[in-house]
Amino acid sequence: MEFTKLVEERRSIRAYQEGTQVEQSVLEELFRTVLQAPSWKNSETGRYYVVTSEEILKEVKKNCLPEFNQKRCANAPVLIVTAFEKNLSGFDQEGNPENELGNEWGAYDLGLQNAYLILKAKELGLDTLIMGLRDEEALRKALDISKSQEVASVIALGYRESDVTAPKRKELDQVVTFF
């Protein structure tokens, strides 16, 4: 699919087809693409917890997401918890931040990886919803996520139930300054 068309067709999907699954081979292809994203000094600090087990999906949806997000991802066959290893991206070899952003570089790098993830998912015919409202401690417990990692989001992945209209976007002059 042409890149511009891919970007234009990708939407945040809040209703997924019931009873669908995503093949392991498709998930592996998705993450091979994610690993191509750039990162600070090629540190690749992003970490992904991919939940496909029906039992664990139910647990994570019920115990780790607020009610409105539980509804939005109710039929999603995959949940992906995104995190990054702290104190690596943006830091020197002695563990000192290399500029004022510190761990925000880890978040930046993870954002780049997640952009690759949602766009590759769309190319593969899948849809996504990035959810930032989640219970971090419940996710750590349910998925045994190390305290050395910063939990960022939960991404629902699956096949959309219906088409969604694109929201209006800002004009260039509202966000871009040319010199």
pLDDT given for residue 131 in this prediction: 98
Amino acid residing at 73: C
Residue spans of the chain under pLDDT 50? none
pLDDT given for residue 77 in this prediction: 98
- Output the pTM of the full model: 0.95
* 6 CB-near residues (< 8 Å, 6+ apart): 119, 122, 123
Summarised one tens digit per residue, pLDDT across range 67-87 is 999 999 999 999 999 999 999
Instruction: Kindly report the number of other CB atoms within 10 A of residue 27's CB atom.
Output: 19
Helices (H), the chain: 3-9, 24-34, 54-64, 67-72, 104-123, 136-143, 172-175
pLDDT given for residue 166 in this prediction: 87
